[in-house]
Chains A and B, each alone.
Chain A
Amino acid sequence: MTYDFVEPVVFALLSIGLIAGGVAVVMLNRITAAALLMAFTFLCMAGMFVLLGAETIALFQVLIYVGAITVLILYGVMFTRFSDRPRALFFQRQTPLAAVFVAAVAIPVAIVALSFTSPTPRPGGGDLVPLATSVFTDFAFPFEIASVLLLAAMVGAIVLTKRDDPGESALRRRR
């Protein structure tokens, strides 16, 4: 008995999880549940990366998306109160336009995508060494620019959310 059926079964399960999570994020009214299901989507995506043989990327995905971005989004959800009538979800002005656009673009893309029938090879050896070599030699300059981008984002986020403390601004004026 060959064990080749394991990979397609795992792929099917993971893609069902992915798409179900995505649909839940778009359609759920309870935002906290949507945020947690988004985290579930990220975990399924990490599973897909492992299936493709990219373990380092999978671990970075969990570390960055589930560990940090989901927490950020949950902070955003907790600090804002949304007042919207649930039944207004699919009767926005843009809904027909959205449906037409999605159908017009997604269906041809999917049809073209189905023509890629070559089997996805799973290269052995893991992807840590080629990835690390590439980042630090060929792509060292974009890597440094990415660090500067993160610094700019940090400074921007702090400046945007800094509260104007009346005592502190009075102190600054006095000085």
Chain B
Amino acid sequence: MTVPLGAYVVVSTVLFFIGCAGVLVRRNAVVILMCVELMLNAANLALVAFSRKYGSIDERGSVFVIFVFVIAAAEVAVGLGIVLSAYRNRPVVNVDEIHQMKG
């Protein structure tokens, strides 16, 4: 009794939407970045699960996952750079208060 493919996709969906809800609801910029990472991870899980659907490894799924890793790492670095330099300008990290380019 192996695990059906749908189970992996459901777990990936649930995790993706938890991350999505986090991005929409949380106010701290760093926590929003963390939730974006969760969403990227969920997408990776779906990619790897589908690349095994037809018996042999379809390596294109895994290659795409590697590129998603690269993009996620680059995005966290630049995103944190933006958050930290905005924090240096005005010490707030609450996204409700830094949405106006004033001050």
A interface residues, Cβ below 8 angstroms from B: 4-5, 7-8, 11, 15, 18-19, 22-23, 25-26, 31, 34-35, 38, 41-42, 45, 48-49, 51-54, 56-57, 60-61, 64-65, 68-69, 72-73, 75-77, 79-84, 88-90, 92, 94-95, 97-99, 101-102, 105-106, 109-110, 113-123, 127, 130-131, 133-135, 138-139, 142, 146, 149-150, 152-154, 156-157, 160-161, 163
CB distance from B23 to the nearest CB of A (A): 9
**What per-residue 1/0 map shows which CB atoms of B1-35 lie under 8 Å from chain A?**
11111111111011101111110111111110111
Interface contact B1-A8, CB-CB below 8 Å: yes
Which of the residues A18, A83, A99, A131 comes within 8 Å of B94, measured between beta carbons?
A83
A-B contact count (CB 8 A): 255
Contacts A102-B20, A131-B63, A160-B85 hold; do A116 and B78 have CB atoms under 8 A apart?
A: no
Check A102/B21 contact, CB under 8 A, given A146-B67, A153-B77.
yes
**A contact patch SS:** helix
A8–chain B nearest beta-carbon distance, Å:
6
Bound-complex Cα distance A7 to B87 (A): 46
Chain B 56-93, CB-CB to A under 8 Å as 1, else 0, gives: 11011011011101111111111011111101100111
Q: Are A75 and B69 interface neighbours, CB within 8 A?
A: no
* Nearest B residue to A125, CB-CB: B57
**Cα distance A52–B100 in the bound complex, in angstroms:** 46
A42 lies within 8 A of B52 (CB): no
Q: Which of B24, B28, B52 contacts A97 (CB 8 A)?
A: B24
Q: Is the interface of B mostly helix, strand, loop or mixed?
A: helix
Q: CB < 8 Å: which of B9, B11, B24, B93 contacts A18?
A: B11
With a cutoff of 8 Å between Cβ atoms, the chain A residues found around residue B76 in the complex are 69, 72-73
Q: Which B residues lie at the A interface, using CB under 8 A?
A: 1-11, 13-15, 17-22, 24-31, 33-35, 37-38, 41, 44-45, 48-49, 51-57, 59-60, 62-63, 65-67, 69-78, 80-85, 87-88, 91-94
Besides A114-B6, A138-B60, 5 other A-B contacts (C-beta < 8 A): A57-B65, A60-B66, A89-B26, A120-B52, A156-B81
CB of A162 to closest CB in B, whole Å: 9
CB distance from A88 to the nearest CB of B (A): 7
Complex contact A60–B69 (CB within 8 A) = yes
Interface contact B3-A77, CB-CB below 8 Å: no
In chain B, what residue has the closest Cβ to A15?
B11
